[in-house]
Amino acid sequence: MVNGIIGKKVGMTQLFLEDGTLEPATVLKAGPCVVVQAKTAQSDGYEAVQIGLVEGRYKANKPETGHFKKANVPPTRVRREVNLAKGAESPAPGAEVLVSIFNQGERVDVIGTSKGHGFQGVVKRHHFAGGEKSHGSMFHRAPGSIGASSYPSRVMPGMRAHGHMGVDRITVRNLKVLKVDAENNLLLVKGAVPGANGGYVVIRKAVAAKPEPQPQLQEKPKKGKK
């Protein structure tokens, strides 16, 4: 069994739990996916599965057509590699991967591409405080000094500066699965997911799942003589 699936971010909503708690949730359309290729340690040096998201028609080129014809599956535009569950056998090409691989209450990691913000300065890109806002300051949103002149007489690598912001690969870990709708291929997870609505994401079982935090009851100290 594979431990991940390709999905698409639908949007955010709210979900009331059975105990009346209101949780923020992101709706993900997860799958259906199909196994396109199974990679093994003997042939590829590692074990993984290439899956494709089934959505509409896709006109593949000749190399892609041969790749899909070998697996006897329809061409898919969006394809990703996911790992196998520990000790599980690799599924055969053509097998379906559905949202039912996840269970309510378990933890998942969501990998997506963050929103693009274009060229931005250091205040927005790196949260610099900026200078004084008073009249005559002439130092409002400038980055300030980027290095000394005498030593080392150069700008050090990794210096935070203005530049392109966003469109980065972001992984949000340990999101709780609030609801699994296998009939409509929907997955509701607690919290926010990177990217804009309609963006593609990869949902996998949490690599380092953390247990659910439990409230700790502390006894109040008794008033009186010590």
pLDDT by residue, tens only, the chain of 226 residues: 888 899 999 999 998 888 888 999 999 998 798 888 888 888 888 888 888 888 888 888 888 888 888 888 888 898 898 888 777 777 888 888 888 888 888 999 999 999 999 999 999 999 999 899 899 998 999 998 898 888 989 999 999 999 999 999 999 999 999 999 888 999 999 999 999 999 999 999 988 887 777 777 677 777 766 5
For residue 92, the model assigns a pLDDT of 83
The dihedrals phi and psi of 70, each to the nearest 5 degrees, come to -65, -35
For residue 127, the model assigns a pLDDT of 95
- Asked whether 5 and 30 are in contact (CB, 8 A), the reply is yes
Exposure letters 78-108 (e unless 16+ CB within 10 A, then b): bbbebbbeeeeebbebebebebebbeeeebb
**In total, how many domains does the chain have?**
1
As a whole number of angstroms, the distance between CA 50 and CA 91 comes to 10
**31 within domain boundaries:** yes
**221 within domain boundaries:** no
For residue 226, the model assigns a pLDDT of 57
How far is residue 126 CA from its own chain's centroid? Answer: 21
Helix (H) or strand (E) holding 125, with range, is: helix 122-126
**156 within domain boundaries:** no
For residue 225, the model assigns a pLDDT of 61
**126 within domain boundaries:** no
**62 within domain boundaries:** yes
Tokens read off for 33: 């996916």
Rounded to two decimals, what is the model's pTM?
0.81
**98 within domain boundaries:** yes
**64 within domain boundaries:** yes
**222 within domain boundaries:** no
Domain with residue 45: its CATH number is 2.40.30.10
For residue 224, the model assigns a pLDDT of 67
- Asked whether 172 and 110 are in contact (CB, 8 A), the reply is yes
For residue 152, the model assigns a pLDDT of 87
Residue-number span of the structural domain to which 172 is assigned = 4-116+166-205
For residue 154, what are the contacts with CB-CB under 8 A and spacing of at least 6? 147
